Chain A
């Protein structure tokens, strides 16, 4: 079964508008972390925002915020005031702990965002 699901292969948004990228996850681990990364055409993976499973508040980082709905197992990324430079691939990822010995990330398939001028 997919552990991280991103159902939007591609999204368009008008410059200066807000956009929500969806992410749902599946885990039985009570302690986990959720991450969003941006991958521009240059290929580097850029960390955007983190949400811990025990965090009471939704994470925010500048124009990025994470809409964390624990009961629904969703961790959607909201980008406000989109800019042309936001055009990129966006990956949702989850960190679980396996036998206290691994902290690997499990990635979704990604959403390609294109910001229109």
Chain B
């Protein structure tokens, strides 16, 4: 079946602009995660959704970052007033959810969105 998809694949924006990044999880996956990958910080967790609610937002670096998920499916990560340090690859992953055991809750990743803030 189809994997996790993300759009756009690349986004170049000017400092101070707002950006929206989209993630379409694997059908039937109730859990959705956003991560950020940058040269200096490696792979960092941002936010976790179970259904439409976000029990863990602890990784969001500032209040300029927000995310929502609608219909238990598509998620949007919004970065307001972008800064140069926001430049990174934003990765989305989905999994069946926490109520399955072992490797059944493996997270599968999308191809990422490369964000460049000029």
- Where the two chains meet, the residues of A that have a C-beta atom closer than 8 Å to any C-beta of B are 33, 35, 37, 42-47, 50, 52, 55, 91, 93, 95, 97-98, 100-110
Q: A95-B105, A107-B43, A110-B42 are in contact. List 18 more A-B contacts (CB 8 A).
A: A37-B109, A43-B111, A43-B112, A43-B114, A44-B111, A44-B112, A45-B91, A47-B108, A50-B102, A50-B103, A52-B101, A91-B43, A93-B43, A101-B56, A102-B55, A103-B98, A105-B33, A105-B93
Q: How many residues of B contact A (CB 8 A)?
A: 28
B101 — which chain A residues lie within 8 A by C-beta? Answer: 52
3 closest Cβ contacts across the A-B interface? A102-B56, A50-B103, A45-B109
- The SS class assigned to the B binding surface is strand
Bound state CA distance, A43 and B38, in angstroms? 12
Q: How far is the CA of A45 from the CA of B56 in the complex (A)?
A: 22
Q: Give the docked Cα–Cα distance between A91 and B91 (Å).
A: 14
Q: In whole Å, how far is B63's beta carbon from the nearest beta carbon of chain A? A: 20
Can you give 12 contacting A-B residue pairs, CB < 8 Å? A33-B102, A33-B105, A35-B107, A44-B109, A44-B112, A45-B109, A46-B109, A100-B98, A103-B48, A103-B95, A106-B45, A107-B42
- Residues on B lying within 8 angstroms of A by beta carbon are 31, 33, 35, 42-43, 45, 48, 55-56, 58-59, 89, 91, 93, 95, 98, 101-103, 105-112, 114
- A104 CA / B14 CA spacing, docked (Å): 31
Nearest Cβ on chain B to A20's Cβ, whole angstroms: 21
Q: Which chain A residue shows the least CB distance to B109?
A: A45
**Contact residue among A35, A98, A103, A110 (Cβ-Cβ distance under 8 Å from B31):** A103
A108 — which chain B residues lie within 8 A by C-beta? 42
Chain A residues whose C-beta falls within 8 Å of the C-beta of B112 in the assembled complex: 43-44
Interchain nearest-CB distance for B38 vs A (Å): 12
Q: Is the CB of A52 within 8 A of B106?
A: no
- How distant is the Cα of A38 from the Cα of B58 in the complex, in angstroms? 26
| B42 / chain A contacts, CB cutoff of 8 Å | 107-110
Instruction: For the complex formed, measure the closest distance between the CB of A16 and the CB atoms of chain B, giving whole angstroms.
Output: 28
Q: How far is the CA of A43 from the CA of B10 in the complex (A)?
A: 12
